[in-house]
């Protein structure tokens, strides 16, 4: 009888462990940045990485 209880306990533990949500390595937490479109080529760039010149935003300095 005790063997059946242990077996049910082990199966229950395995079930609970497999149901725990895994932490995603691609977190959408604090690394979210506002995206803007390059005025020359149309590529979306994080606002903090864009180059601005006379009110226009660019993905590269040479634009």
Q: What are the pLDDT digits (tens) for 13-40? A: 999 988 887 766 665 555 667 888 888 8
Comparing 1-5, 40-44, 57-61, the range with the smallest average pLDDT is: 57-61
Q: Which residues of 50-62 are buried (b: 16+ CB within 10 A; e: fewer)?
A: beeeeeebbbeee
* Per-residue pLDDT at 55: 83
**Dist CA 9 CA 36 (whole Å):** 54
Residue 15 tokens read as: 């079930």
**Dist CA 47 CA 32 (whole Å):** 11
pTM confidence score: 0.44
Q: Where are the domains of the chain?
A: 35-63
* Per-residue pLDDT at 5: 95
């Amino acid at each position: 009888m005790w063997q059946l209880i242990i077996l049910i306990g082990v199966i229950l533990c395995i079930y609970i462990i497999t149901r725990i949500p895994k932490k995603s390595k691609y977190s959408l937490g604090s690394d979210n940045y506002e995206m803007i479109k390059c005025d020359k080529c149309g590529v979306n760039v994080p606002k903090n990485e864009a180059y601005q010149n006379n009110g226009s935003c660019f993905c590269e300095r040479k634009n």
